[in-house]
Amino acid sequence: MTSAGPALRLDGQGKPLWLVCELTYRCPLQCSWCNNPLEFGSITDELSTEEWKRVLAESRALGSLQLGFTGGEPALRPDLEELVAEADRLGYYTNLITSTVGLSAERLARLKEAGLKQIQVSLQSHDAATTNALVGAPVHNHKIEMIREIKAQGFPVVLNIPVVRQNIAHATAFLELALELGVDYVEFANVQYYNWALVNRDELMPTLEELKASEAAINAFRERVGKKMTVYFVIPDYYNGRPKACMNGWGAIIMTIAPDGLALPCQEARILKGLDFPSVRDHSVEWIWRDSPAFKTYRGDGWMKEPCRSCDEKEKDFGGCRCQSYLLTGDAANPDPACSKSPFHHMVNQAIIEAHRPQRNSRPLVMRKAGAAG
């Protein structure tokens, strides 16, 4: 399969160019593929406004340029405008990653005045019934209303579509809606299987035939509309034979700060047992990035096992995803099972077979609720 958008490779020159601020794990939606931890309900001690401001300043001093406010639902934080304004003052390019729940025309105007530069909205279908069923809340119409309002107030809009078995056939209808709404970028993000998505993997995973049909529809649309809208297609690595270049390498250009202050190389990394991830409440951002053992563990290629260590593609995919390796094999240093060269690749192949076994009994999706996956 080929990507419907350009690949991204960046040399951060040792700087955390992208700062991801997970302001809260609270969210009114119940998405069954949520990348928040399964135990999110027990993580309630959120950083204060002043603590976040210190993180923003220290990260900017290290060279961070792009800032994503995410969650959970970041709009549930009443200090969102204040944090956006501080980030803008510091010189960040700010992006809000939102379900739109908690936003209104008035609040969007305040965020615009505060200096917010871009908004990424998640949308699960072109029709209300599918969206509302997938997220467990009647929010589709509000999402559409807010996308129109976001465009009306002059924000660039990225539409993020989490692709699962339940909506993969909607590609053309999605794109026609996005075109009508005036969306600037559309990202078809085939769901990756961590946390809640891993719990629901058998129910969420599309077939290869469905993926190919979706990709063909996207390519046909792109040829028809040209440069009116940019469309990305995030390839599912279970079917690709090669792992994704996760985070452009561990601790290379991205730093995530969780709601409770834990500093992570990616949003999923707190699942990794045996790594002591530091908190911004206890250490400076500079020490965490440059010197903490957790951020240094999988940098470079010295940690790699064979066949990764001698692979001529290791500088392309950085050995794949440490979290996926841990979740599937129990050892984060193992070669990513998504890679066809990995001795663990059979685990991915077996997962595909199991998800589409004709005699398999389907079950209801486990929706994102505190304690639901325990």
Per the annotation, where are the binding residues for [4Fe-4S] cluster? 27, 31, 34
352 Cβ contact list (under 8 Å, min separation 6): 205, 208, 238, 239
Assign 317 to helix, strand or coil: helix
* Alpha-carbon span 313 to 93, nearest angstrom: 32
Element (H, E) at 161: strand 157-163
Exposure letters 359-371 (e unless 16+ CB within 10 A, then b)? eeeeeebebbeee
Per the annotation, binding residues are 27, 31, 34
* Alpha-carbon span 261 to 24, nearest angstrom: 10
Q: Where are the alpha helices (DSSP H) in the chain?
A: 49-62, 80-90, 105-114, 128-135, 140-152, 171-181, 195-199, 201-204, 208-225, 237-240, 285-291, 293-296, 314-317, 322-329, 345-355
Does residue 307 have a cis bond before it (omega within 30 degrees)? yes
